[in-house]
Amino acid sequence: MESKSSGSLLDQSFSASDIEMEVLKQQLAMADDEDKAALEAERRMLQLALLEAFAQQRQLVVAANIAVLALSGCLGFASCRCSSEKIPVRYGPAYITQCPIQNGHSYTYDFNVTGQRGTLWWHAHIFWLRATVYGAIVVMPKQGTPFPFPQPDRETNIVLGEWWNNDVEEVVKQGNKLGLPPNTSDAHTINGKPGPLFPCSEKHTFAMEVEQGKTYLLRIINAALNDELFFAVAGHNMTVVEIDAVYTKPFTTQAILIAPGQTTNVLVQANQAPGRYFMAARPFMDAPLTVDNKTATAILQYKGIPNTILPILPKLPLPNDTAFALSYNAKLRSLNSPLYPANVPLKVDRRLFYTIGLGINPCPTCLNGTRLSASLNNITFVMPHIGLLQAHYFNIRGVYTADFPDRPPQPFNYTGAPLTANLGTTSGTRLSKIAFNSTAELVLQDTNLQIVESHPFHLHGYNFFVVGTGIGNFDPAKDPAKFNLVDPPERNTVGEPTGGWTAIRSLVHALPFGAAYRVGFEDCICGREWKGTRSVHFASSKGPSSLLIDFFLRPKYKGHG
């Protein structure tokens, strides 16, 4: 597949090795001034593409040295989605903790990974650059510490993504000019390749060789911008053993559901008749919205089987299979063993209730004279021109206000009949203060403003416990009694259900605190695109350097009319 996008450099170096990096270094040493700039850009992009860090969990680990060259404009810092307890404050979306990396500049980020092990990932943090700028981070257990599940014979990273034939930044700009959602992707990918169901040659299919009788650990990452994805391996069951770098109670399934930003580790036994079997991924969408419903495929191939054997396709759940989605998520439980306890906060210091909506605001320059505006508690976040942490630390006034409400200003039947009138939102750079070392419970409530839909939610630098979820309106009098406070799933990203709610709990004890809801505008978007972003930010009143905590939330930005 030819690409007009700036991600083509990444595709050229997708299978690059350390040898290629060494060759580039030698070319740089011999090049004249005219060629050095182009070679240096290629070296940096190759370095970015090769960032698939395998760290050994110990007291001091440099997990990543990220030196990036922006594709165009500025590049938000590449987040590693690691726990921020021992990580410096320069982590998270641009203009929250710091200003973005400018075009032509690099940024090196050294940090410790402590008390974590498992599959994480890093990605760009501004505009839609995350469509191609991302990769895996694998943190291995301490030397001599076994997995709390059968030891696999081998491991493989499976990174799911989305692909646009056009420059993704131009796709966003076009949507902005029209005041409409950007176009959906043209394909989904597995390890950067869409597979043979697309009009591509064999080289655009990822293949994984397995040996009969061996067990494989698949580290699956959903790096797609917008889509929750089903994933399955034809003829083979999967045993889920980890989510978002947290061990789970193992359970067996024929398919998994993975939201944007989530990771899932599964064990697969090569115990079927030797042959070729498709691995496949396609979207889950149980709302009447436009989605790229194409299926990406890769091949699991038994050793010694020729490529002429046609692979078998797996039976994926239907694209709108809500029952499977709810059932699958209900099976996720923390391992909660003596070595890996689930330290669920039982005492709550602050209860927050946020409604998620998609409003319509005037836009004189847009095609229909209006623009879709995401909101939390009917407030659309306005991105500042200086980092919020910088403004807080240097006491710069006029950048933000600390008055974000804990609850929506006007309660209503959130998931009742669709609301199609009076959909304007208020705007502001508004924060909410949370006490350091306190426990926060947040209930995220979907609303039927135009239409209900699911909303993947990410907490920057923090894990949280998903203590409850349900369909319809959250009932504060009845639903808390059903919360799982024993072994709820612990993760950093959760898919809030269509027309429903999710309750999470987290201890506010570290630097920094940030969250994200996907609109399709990933993490850091300058100018008009911020109108598709809904945010609230938290500042801690105690703790190191009067800790500023950012809480960044977005819904998925789909095909609303």
242-259: per-residue pLDDT in tens?
Answer: 999 999 999 999 999 999
412 φ/ψ angles, rounded to the nearest 5 degrees: -155, 180
Tokens standing for residue 227: 């889509």
Summarised one tens digit per residue, pLDDT across range 206-231 is 999 999 999 999 999 999 988 999 99
Kindly report the number of other CB atoms within 10 A of residue 154's CB atom: 13
Sign of the CA dihedral running 246, 249, 250, 255: negative
Question: Is 452 exposed, middle or buried (CB count within 10 Å of its CB: 0-12, 13-18, 19+)?
Answer: buried
The DSSP result for 397-459, as a single string, is: TTS-BS---SS-SS---TTSSPB-SS---EEE-BEEEE-TTEEEEEEEEE--BS----EEEEE
Q: How far apart are CA 109 and CA 321, in angstroms?
A: 41
With H, G, I as helix, E, B as strand and everything else as coil, classify residue 329.
helix
Higher pLDDT, 342 or 43: 342
pLDDT of residue 136: 92
Sign of the CA dihedral running 151, 329, 258, 122: negative
Q: CB–CB of 2/163 below 8 Å?
A: no
| Region 493-501 average pLDDT | 92
pLDDT of residue 32: 55
Q: CB–CB of 434/549 below 8 Å?
A: yes
| Region 481-498 average pLDDT | 95
Summarised one tens digit per residue, pLDDT across range 425-437 is 999 999 888 888 8
Residue 370 has pLDDT above 70, yes or no: yes
| Region 409-437 average pLDDT | 89
Q: CB–CB of 468/520 below 8 Å?
A: no
pLDDT of residue 5: 30
Question: Is 99 exposed, middle or buried (CB count within 10 Å of its CB: 0-12, 13-18, 19+)?
Answer: middle
What's the alpha-carbon Rg for the chain, to the nearest Å?
Answer: 23
Tokens standing for residue 469: 């979820």
- Which pLDDT band, with edges at 50, 70 and 90, does 522 fall under? very low
Tokens standing for residue 473: 């309106």
Residue 544 has pLDDT above 50, yes or no: no
pLDDT above 90 as % of the chain: 48
Residue 525 has pLDDT above 50, yes or no: no
**Global pTM exceeds 0.85:** no
pLDDT of residue 247: 98
| Region 318-327 average pLDDT | 96
Of the candidates 135, 130, 136, which has an alpha carbon nearest to the alpha carbon of residue 164? 130
* Kind plus residue range of the DSSP H or E element containing 277: strand 276-284
Query: How many residues appear in the chain?
Result: 561
Quick one: DSSP state of residue 533? -
* Kind plus residue range of the DSSP H or E element containing 159: strand 154-163
Torsion angle of the four alpha carbons 358, 407, 349, 442, in this order, in degrees rounded to the nearest 10: -20
Summarised one tens digit per residue, pLDDT across range 65-119 is 333 333 334 455 445 566 655 454 555 677 777 777 777 877 777 777 777 899 9
User: What value does the mean pLDDT of the chain take?
Assistant: 78
Residue 463 has pLDDT above 80, yes or no: yes
Higher pLDDT, 42 or 36: 36
Q: How far apart are CA 486 and CA 183, in angstroms?
A: 43
Residue 49 has pLDDT above 80, yes or no: no
Residue 550 has pLDDT above 80, yes or no: no
pLDDT of residue 462: 82
514 φ/ψ angles, rounded to the nearest 5 degrees: -150, 150
The DSSP result for 340-359, as a single string, is: S------S-SEEEEEEEEEE
Q: How far apart are CA 123 and CA 221, in angstroms?
A: 12
Higher pLDDT, 240 or 10: 240
| Region 263-272 average pLDDT | 98
Q: Beginning with the edge strand found earlier in the chain, give each strand of the sheet holding 514-517 in spatial order.
A: 493-496, 455-460, 514-517
C-alpha count within 13 angstroms, C-beta hemisphere, residue 372: 28
Summarised one tens digit per residue, pLDDT across range 71-81 is 334 455 445 56
Q: How far apart are CA 555 and CA 242, in angstroms?
A: 25
Of the candidates 501, 510, 523, which has an alpha carbon nearest to the alpha carbon of residue 77? 523
With H, G, I as helix, E, B as strand and everything else as coil, classify residue 500.
strand
- Which pLDDT band, with edges at 50, 70 and 90, does 514 fall under? very low
Of the candidates 380, 383, 369, 371, which has an alpha carbon nearest to the alpha carbon of residue 425? 380
Residue 336 has pLDDT above 70, yes or no: yes
pLDDT of residue 72: 36
Summarised one tens digit per residue, pLDDT across range 275-305 is 999 999 999 999 888 888 899 999 999 999 9
Q: Which amino acid is at 519?
A: V
Residue 57 has pLDDT above 60, yes or no: no
Question: What are the C-alpha distances in Å from 179 to residues 41, 363, 531, 561?
Answer: 34, 7, 10, 10
Alpha helices, DSSP H, located in 113-235: 168-178
- CA 64 from centre of chain: 18
Summarised one tens digit per residue, pLDDT across range 161-210 is 999 999 988 998 888 888 878 889 999 999 999 999 988 655 789 999 99
Q: How far apart are CA 561 and CA 119, in angstroms?
A: 37
- Which pLDDT band, with edges at 50, 70 and 90, does 558 fall under? very low
β-pair type (500-508, 438-446): antiparallel
β-pair type (246-253, 215-222): unpaired
pLDDT of residue 87: 52
